[in-house]
Amino acid sequence: MRKWITACALLLVMYLLETTLLQGLSIAGAVPNLIIILLVVISFRYGQVNGLIFGFIAGLFTDLMDGTYLGLFALLYMSLGYLLGFANRIYDKDDYTIPLILTGLTDILYNFGIFIVGFLLRNRTHLFFYLRSIVLPEAIYTVVVSVLLYRAIQKLFILLEPKETEKEVTGD
């Protein structure tokens, strides 16, 4: 339960930072997607189901705050959280390079989903312009910021996990 309360509190903080403070620190018009960083941490640490649930919560929150199409962000974040959760079984949780790569790929997939619904369906097919001016700068900026934030968020969730007692470890 502490994990979910912390995740929702971090979601609120990340959203507020992304929409206020970081707007003034945009580079080439790009702002890092802090919610994706948080989604990568939770999915990578806790698996597919938790990634899916947090993705839905984060997406619904984003939809309610500033979504044009209700459910678009919920579907995107939920799908990405589920896919990211596969890495939970495959990779070592102490490895920090895989989550950084996953953060960049997730940001690109997220923006591609927005491109399909927001632009392609309205017959705006300037994919290379969208990639060059929005997707790549945001993905790079998100990865750079995740280098700074990933380890801190990871350590916060480690602190929230119950400590194993000696009895539980030995099985007595």
Q: What is the pLDDT of residues 6-44, one digit of tens each?
A: 999 999 999 999 989 988 888 888 899 999 999 999 999
In the numeric block, which tokens belong to residue 162? 């119950």
34-46 and 136-160 helices cross at what angle (nearest 10)?
50
Ordered by start, the domain boundaries in the chain are 2-21+31-160
pLDDT at residue 70, as a whole number: 86
The C-alpha angle with vertex 109 and arms to 32 and 88, in degrees rounded to 5, equals 90
DSSP label at 30? B
pLDDT at residue 166, as a whole number: 46
What pTM was estimated for this model as a whole?
A: 0.88
Whole-angstrom Cα distance, residue 113 to residue 129? 16
Closest CA to 127 of 72, 119, 137, 31: 119
Q: Strand, coil or helix: what is 27?
A: strand
Fold classified for 2-21+31-160: Arp2/3 complex 21 kDa subunit ARPC3 (1.10.1760)
Q: What is the pLDDT of residues 118-131, one digit of tens each?
A: 776 677 777 888 88
